[in-house]
Amino acid sequence: MDILNNILAGQVPMELYLGVSLIMFFAGVYGFLSRRSMLMILISIELMLNAADLNFVTFNRYLFPGQLEGFYFALFTIAIAACETAVAIAIIINIYRNLSSVEVGNLDQMKE
């Protein structure tokens, strides 16, 4: 009821933003656990990181307006996610060159 009153009063309540990022995060969890290709697992990780960014920014905007901690946290998380993707894709390309496959089931051949 509170949510409905807020929507009618012309505001988007905070829990709707959190709900959107919740759906994004658990879609990422499902993809991470159910796919075999390493690139799909990386896409799922990107979804989860993106949901975390959205949460930082939402908490900053709703609970601490006028301050910028969540904003900078999201900014630095985006930079770290870009680094992580670049290194992960370099590793995946290297694995593909050695095993001609990017499936996680084949990865135990790497130790030979």
Enumerate residues 55-74 that contact another protein by CB under 8 A: 57-58, 61-63, 65-69, 71-72, 74
Q: Which of 23, 107, 109, 110 binds another protein (CB under 8 A)?
A: 23
Considering only residues 24 to 53 of the shown chain, the ones binding another protein according to CB under 8 A are 24, 26-37, 39-40, 42-44, 46-47, 50, 53
Q: In the complex with another protein, which residue's Cβ is closer, 42 or 112?
A: 42
Helix/strand/coil for 37: strand
Q: Does 13 bind another protein (CB under 8 A)?
A: yes
Contact 13/6 with Cβ under 8 angstroms? yes
Q: Does 16 bind another protein (CB under 8 A)?
A: yes
Could you tell me the smallest distance in angstroms from the CB atom of residue 29 to another protein? Answer: 5
Helix/strand/coil for 1: coil
Nearest CA to 111 out of 99, 96, 97, 102 is that of: 99
Helix/strand/coil for 5: helix
Is residue 103 within a helix (H) or strand (E), and if so which, with residue range? none
